[in-house]
Amino acid sequence: MTKHSSPHGIARCFAAAAYLGLAFVQVATAEIAVKNGEKIAFLGDSITQGGWGNPLGYVRLVMAGLEANGVKAEAVPAGISGHKSDNMLARLERDVIAKKPQWMTLSCGVNDVWHGKNGVALDEAALAAGDFGSAGAARGTYKKNIAEIVERAEAAGIKVVLLTATVIHENLDNAENARLAPYNEYLKTLAREKKLRLADLNAMCQERIKAENKPKQKVLTSDGVHMAIEGDKLMATGVLQALGLDAAELKTAQVLWAKLEATAKEAAAKKAAAKPKPLAFLTVESAGQDYADQGEYANDWGGAQVIALGDDKFRVVIHKGGLPGAGWDQSAKTEVEGRRHGAAILFTNASNGWTYSIGRGLLTTRTDQGDVYEMKKISRTSPTLGAKPPAGAEILFDGTTAAAWRNGRIDDRHFLQSGTTSKAIFTNFSLHLEFLLPFKPSGRGQDRGNSGVYFQDRYEVQVLDSFGLKGENNECGGIYTKHKPAVNMCFPPLVWQTYDVDFTAAKFDEAGKKISSAVLTVKHNGVLIHDQAEVDGTTTSSGINTVTAIGGPIQLQDHGNPIYYRNIWAVRK
């Protein structure tokens, strides 16, 4: 579709831009800039990855909004979780330029700031003054990385649309948003200097959050950073406006989005009604043969972890040198999917032709040359399991009473159920506790035995059935969204596990300025997984954005899964 430009149309375009909190720095027209058949690459991080992976993500909504207005374009999704400006620069040729798009949107900045010392400095002065670790210089600076991305894209004939980074938590006054501000100012300056289209999504987010005025609720995001449907719609609106859609065309897009949202909700409701809730087995006796075959196997060469995935599906993860925390040499793991066939579980590694089979407590490997190796099933026990409280320790739970806990509930096995908070307040202390995860073979991700231990009610050490997984910051042992464990020490479910944690609260000077962050040292099943880890802000699921030196309770989070705790005691420092 084609429209004729006019002073009235141009004025209307600028008026809509002002209303939406956007800035255009190239000549505005009353036409949609993208044409039929053109490609748009969306370069970004996990927000952009979700923008395509989610059926109602902002990338999907942008494409639907264009099509609703008669422009059928092609998306080139290029969002990867965790990526910063240096990562995006490194893969620009592969993920964008090689795909030969006519357009590219660039969404970058959240991780450059959010990752703290593992992030990317704004410029050379910030790099010299800040703590960006030994690899900080190799990551370059945000200004240089972004400028080079734009320069290389334009050299390839790609028109660039800059998107300011959204927000880091919806508490707009936090330190991370303050650090993000100059990154966004640079994007706006760059857009002016190079006459690039710009969608000031950060301004739009701030305006919306302030207008809603719901400080205890998340307005745009699911976790403070990643977009919920309202955030995706806001982002898509900003991108479409930057691409030249006027108010009437945006309305057309939004009518379609409403229909898509209603259809998605209806489909999700039907799927949820049709899909049985994953079963959670609470005892070894009830867990069945899949549980009997799941677990850890080892020989003098290495170790393997076998994970039951439900519906006769399994995954084997093989470690050279030994099991995690027991000899694994940190080399690349081999992961192979398999299925149960009768009494045996069979796996085939398509890359080398090796096969693996499980039965009668043995994992048997057959190489492509016919060599045969066996690993025996083993059971590990945490060396701190059953640890006795030292003199002076405060006994928080010993199986006899839940009096130390608000709304504490004890089952008939004398275990404390998740979903409770200590009555006592702690500031600097050491904590020992033991936890039991259910066996949920059909559960996935955060629905596979989820809980968390909160310190000062602000900092979460994740509790989750992460047996055999990578060991990320949202998996068992992770300081949620902040630090991943040095090694994934999660045992199989239905095996008692231990956390031994030393916690030191953040410190402030007499003027109230923070002089040091909270620090956690964590041992999981006796193995050190965090050594004096500084936590520069509260974890995203705590619901608390303020950092304080004042003590707080210990929380054992309820996340809709049957998690149990025992032998909990603390020693104040």
**Same structural domain for residues 174 and 104?**
yes
Tokens of 260: 């898509």
Helices and strands, number each (H, E), in the chain = 13, 27
Distance (Å) of CA 429 to CA 402, 451, 504, 507, 557: 21, 21, 7, 14, 19
**Same structural domain for residues 113 and 238?**
yes
Yes or no: say if 112 and 85 are a contact pair by the CB < 8 Å rule. Answer: yes
**Same structural domain for residues 420 and 553?**
yes
- Write down the residue that tokens 């590219």 correspond to: 104
The verdict on residue 517 lying in a domain is yes
Tokens of 166: 């959204």
- How many alpha carbons lie under 13 Å from residue 300 in its C-beta half-sphere? 0
SS3 86: helix
327: burial class by Cβ within 10 Å (0-12, 13-18, 19+)? Answer: middle
Taking only Cα atoms into account, the Rg of the chain, rounded to an integer number of angstroms, comes to 26
**Same structural domain for residues 297 and 430?**
no
Give the pLDDT of residue 542. 63
CA quadruple 91, 145, 155, 44: dihedral sign? positive
Range of the structural domain that residue 459 is part of: 394-572
Task: Give the span between the Cα atoms of 446 and 462, in whole angstroms.
Answer: 10
Q: How many CB atoms lie within 10 A of CB 92?
A: 23
Give the pLDDT of residue 112. 95
**Same structural domain for residues 189 and 318?**
no
Task: Give the span between the Cα atoms of 508 and 547, in whole angstroms.
Answer: 10
138: which DSSP letter? Answer: G
Task: Give the span between the Cα atoms of 239 and 41, in whole angstroms.
Answer: 12
Yes or no: say if 57 and 228 are a contact pair by the CB < 8 Å rule. Answer: no
What is the per-residue DSSP string for 427-450? SSEEEEEEEE--B-TT--GGGSS-
Tokens of 293: 């075959």
Give the pLDDT of residue 358. 94
pLDDT of the chain, 573 residues: tens digit per residue: 333 333 334 333 433 443 344 443 333 456 999 999 999 999 999 899 999 999 999 999 999 999 999 999 999 999 988 899 999 999 999 999 999 999 999 999 999 998 888 899 999 999 999 888 888 999 999 999 999 999 999 999 999 999 999 999 898 999 999 999 999 999 999 999 999 999 999 999 999 999 999 888 889 998 788 899 999 999 999 999 999 999 999 999 999 999 999 999 998 888 878 877 778 999 999 999 999 999 999 999 999 999 999 989 999 999 999 999 999 999 999 999 999 987 889 998 888 888 999 988 999 999 888 889 999 999 999 999 999 999 999 999 999 999 999 999 999 999 999 999 999 999 999 999 999 999 999 888 788 889 999 999 999 999 999 999 999 999 999 999 999 999 999 999 999 999 999 999 999 999 999 999 999 999 999 999 999 999 998 886 666 778 899 999 999 999 889 999 999 999 999
* Counted domains in the chain: 3
* Nearest to 492, CA basis, from 527, 456, 466: 466
The verdict on residue 3 lying in a domain is no
The verdict on residue 360 lying in a domain is yes
The verdict on residue 11 lying in a domain is no
- Within 8 A by CB and 6+ apart from 513, the residues are none
Q: What is the CATH number of the domain that holds 118?
A: 3.40.50.1110
Task: Give the span between the Cα atoms of 331 and 381, in whole angstroms.
Answer: 24
Query: 353, 378, 403 — which closes off a domain?
Result: 378
**Same structural domain for residues 48 and 140?**
yes
**Same structural domain for residues 94 and 170?**
yes
Give the tens place of pLDDT for each residue, 531-543: 999 999 888 666 6
**Same structural domain for residues 88 and 208?**
yes
Query: 260, 295, 324 — which closes off a domain?
Result: 260
Give the pLDDT of residue 455. 96
Element holding 48 (H helix, E strand): helix 46-53
**Strands 295-298 vs 302-310: parallel, antiparallel or unpaired:** antiparallel
SS3 454: strand
Q: How many CB atoms lie within 10 A of CB 382?
A: 21
Task: Give the span between the Cα atoms of 182 and 488, in whole angstroms.
Answer: 36
The verdict on residue 274 lying in a domain is no
Yes or no: say if 403 and 415 are a contact pair by the CB < 8 Å rule. Answer: no
- Write down the residue that tokens 């939004």 correspond to: 254
Give the tens place of pLDDT for each residue, 263-318: 999 988 888 788 777 789 999 999 999 999 999 999 999 999 999 999 899 999 99
pTM of the model: 0.56
Task: Give the span between the Cα atoms of 53 and 480, in whole angstroms.
Answer: 23
Q: What is the CATH number of the domain that holds 469?
A: 2.60.120.560
Q: Give the chain's end-to-end CA distance (angstroms, integer).
A: 71
**Same structural domain for residues 305 and 249?**
no
Q: How many CB atoms lie within 10 A of CB 429?
A: 21
SS3 223: coil
Task: Give the span between the Cα atoms of 103 and 363, in whole angstroms.
Answer: 52
Give the pLDDT of residue 333. 95
276: burial class by Cβ within 10 Å (0-12, 13-18, 19+)? Answer: exposed
SS3 122: coil
**Same structural domain for residues 212 and 292?**
no
Which amino acid appears at position 170 of this protein? E
Task: Give the span between the Cα atoms of 454 and 499, in whole angstroms.
Answer: 12
**Same structural domain for residues 334 and 419?**
no
Q: How many CB atoms lie within 10 A of CB 280?
A: 22
SS3 514: strand
SS3 273: helix
113 phi, psi to nearest 5 deg: -95, -50
Which residues share a beta bridge with 49? none
Distance (Å) of CA 90 to CA 43, 186, 521: 12, 21, 34
Across 476-498, b (16+ Cβ under 10 Å) vs e yields bbbbbbbbbbbbbbbbbbbbbbb
**Same structural domain for residues 474 and 545?**
yes
The verdict on residue 146 lying in a domain is yes
The verdict on residue 267 lying in a domain is no
The verdict on residue 333 lying in a domain is yes
Give the pLDDT of residue 23. 42
Query: 351, 378, 405 — which closes off a domain?
Result: 378
